[in-house]
């Protein structure tokens, strides 16, 4: 009797393991299939007009993973073109700037489309596509500022300037001899606020940031650094490309 009972228990154990294994594999296959239909794009969703966050899907915005918000901007529209070609739904993984490369190399995201320049340092970690934009660098300041009419790099002497942390923009301030390089800031919202409050005299950015900010604040001006004698930016620093994980042959 005891041996028969043990035999029944053993049979039930085998059947249970088969059922659990089948169920797990089915769910795993389903999850993998579902995941393969999604194109996960890494961006800050806080870098207008390249990318930003909004509350609805108006004007072609796409969902931000893990939230009820949506992302839009130039980068989002580029991502949608790629997604359409690959027959995959675009979902944005909202990621801090310094976390974009780790997110890509770890497989959390499929692509970085975030207004990123393919600098030599970044190329050592990831691959990049052909550029989709070439930038002009400017100092964004108030029209009433004494630095708004700067013609030479030395005309920024005494100016309190900053840029976004983790970007090449911050390093460019060193070329503006005599200026005071204030601590780098987290994002453009913080820099805009600091400029409005007078905490800084200006910040270094790309011309596209000026176009975006000028739409809501006509009292600012962009001083073109590219036209000033002695100003230098490497080619890779002035273009914007899509980041791809090394070894990824799907794109």
Query: 243 is written with which tokens?
Result: 């980041």
Residues near 123 by Cβ (< 8 Å), separated by ≥ 6? 236
Quote the CATH superfamily of domain 37-133+238-244.
Periplasmic binding protein-like II (3.40.190.10)
- Looking at the chain, the domain(s) classified CATH 3.40.190.10 span 37-133+238-244, 137-225
**180-181 vs 137-142, strand pairing mode:** unpaired
- Global confidence as pTM: 0.69
- Quick one: pLDDT at residue 48? 82
Q: What is the CATH number of domain 137-225?
A: 3.40.190.10
| Segment-wise mean pLDDT, segments of 10 residues, the chain, 251 residues | 42 39 41 70 91 96 98 96 96 96 97 94 95 94 98 98 93 97 94 97 95 95 97 92 92 75
């Amino acid at each position: 009797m005891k041996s028969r009972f043990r035999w029944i228990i053993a049979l039930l154990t085998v059947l249970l393991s088969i059922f659990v294994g089948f169920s797990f594999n089915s769910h795993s296959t389903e999850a993998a299939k579902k995941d393969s239909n999604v194109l996960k794009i890494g961006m800050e969703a806080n870098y207008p007009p390249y990318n930003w966050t909004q509350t609805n899907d108006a004007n072609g915005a796409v969902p931000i993973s893990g939230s009820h918000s949506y992302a839009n901007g130039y980068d989002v529209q580029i991502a949608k073109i790629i997604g359409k070609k690959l027959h995959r739904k675009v979902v944005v993984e909202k990621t801090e700037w310094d976390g974009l490369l780790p997110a890509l190399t770890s497989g959390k995201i499929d692509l970085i489309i975030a207004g990123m320049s393919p600098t030599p340092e970044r190329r050592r970690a990831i691959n990049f596509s052909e550029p989709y934009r070439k930038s002009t660098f400017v100092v964004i300041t108030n029209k009433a500022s004494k630095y708004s009419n700067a013609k030479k790099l030395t005309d920024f002497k005494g100016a309190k300037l900053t840029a976004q942390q983790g970007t090449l923009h911050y390093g460019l301030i060193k070329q503006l001899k005599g200026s005071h390089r204030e601590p780098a800031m987290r994002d453009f919202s913080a820099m805009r606020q600091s400029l409005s409050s007078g905490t800084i005299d200006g910040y270094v950015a790309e011309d596209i940031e000026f176009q975006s900010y000028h739409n809501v604040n006509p009292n600012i001006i962009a001083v073109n650094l590219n036209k000033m004698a002695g100003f230098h930016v490497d080619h890779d620093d002035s273009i914007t490309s899509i980041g791809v994980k090394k070894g990824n042959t799907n794109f």
